[in-house]
């Protein structure tokens, strides 16, 4: 039969495993797509602003 300290070790292992599992689910389902979407939107915004500045510069000339 298990000793008390072995039982605590098993509980610690199970808790760490569960936390890691849910962290990976969170990262793959929410955090990483959020980061990628934000980066893409920011790049699009920067390109739009650069194009607008280029058009204004061409209009002045």
pLDDT tens digit sequence for 6-49: 899 899 999 999 999 999 999 999 999 999 999 999 999 999 99
Query: Exposure string (b/e) for 41-55, b if CB count within 10 Å is 16 or more?
Result: eeeeeeeeeeeeeee
Distance CA 24, CA 12 (A): 18
Q: Check: CB of residue 8 under 8 Å from CB of residue 16.
A: no
- Contact residues for 55 (Cβ-Cβ < 8 A; gap 6+): none
Q: Check: CB of residue 10 under 8 Å from CB of residue 2.
A: yes
State residue 17's pLDDT score: 98
Tell me the pTM: 0.68
């Amino acid at each position: 039969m298990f000793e008390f300290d072995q039982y605590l070790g098993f509980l610690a292992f199970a808790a760490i495993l569960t936390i890691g599992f849910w962290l990976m689910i969170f990262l793959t389902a929410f955090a990483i797509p959020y980061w990628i979407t934000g980066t893409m939107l920011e790049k699009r915004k920067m390109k739009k602003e650069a194009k607008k500045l280029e058009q204004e510069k061409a209009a002045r000339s």
